[in-house]
Amino acid sequence: MIVFLAPDEELFATATAALSEAHPDIRIEQGLLSAGVRRARELARSGTEIIISRGGTASAIKEAIPDLIVVEVPITGFDILRAVDQARHYGRNIGVVAFPSMVIGIECLPAILDVELRHYLIQSEFEAESRVLQAFREGADVVVGGVITSKEGKKHNIPHVLIRSGAEGILQATLEARRIAEARLLEKLKGTLFRTVLDYSYEGVVSVDQNHRIVIFNPVASRITGVTVPDALGKPIGQILPRLN
């Protein structure tokens, strides 16, 4: 199953509009950063294999649940351009308070839009408040960033602009998630077919990994050696078949 986990209500609404017709089977939920991680854990336990999310929430899920596949909604050049263009109405000095993955390519905009950009990159949600306040202490007229940056700007009643994801990035991430899901399904089918061939083979089949531990031990090998399959798997080949040591 694929789930789109939106960090905020606006992205939730944008994703709903973008996916409702082309991808109606994609489930859409909401969860920001640590709350998103908690929800992702629950979804993974219930069978979700792929999560689509954005920015810091996507990064937090990847770090906290390494076995879960996370596809990040890309921040497109248009998304960044729109945000910086909106921000310059507050003044020329713009502080960028965001996760690194959200502002790739932003360096080219100062010359195009006649603004000054200063980066205050964050690695976790807990750094956002101090970095937003630092940006204004150092002369920023406005801060640009993700949902957590906007929340801190609103909290301290200071100018802020949210980098919004458009439908283009959402659809791009969804197609990538589908390609991954299809590839995983194909691998599962191949694995099932391979296991069926092994199980019904007339010959004993034993395979080991680079550490000489058994990774394949079919039923015929079990009958020949008198060792059950569970007892053989993961064991050193020399322990199960001493003559091959």
Q: What is the pLDDT of residues 221-230, one digit of tens each?
A: 888 888 898 8
> Is a pLDDT exceeding 70 seen at residue 216?
yes
Q: What's the mean pLDDT in 114-131?
A: 90
pTM strictly above 0.75: no
Q: What is the DSSP letter of 22?
A: T
Dist. CA 72–CA 175, nearest whole Å: 11
pLDDT tens by residue, 140-188: 999 999 888 999 999 999 999 998 888 888 999 999 999 998 888 777 7
- The string of DSSP letters for 167-204 reads HHHHHHHHHHHHHHHHHHHHHHHHHHHHHHHHHT-SS-
- What Rg value do the Cα atoms of the chain yield, rounded? 25
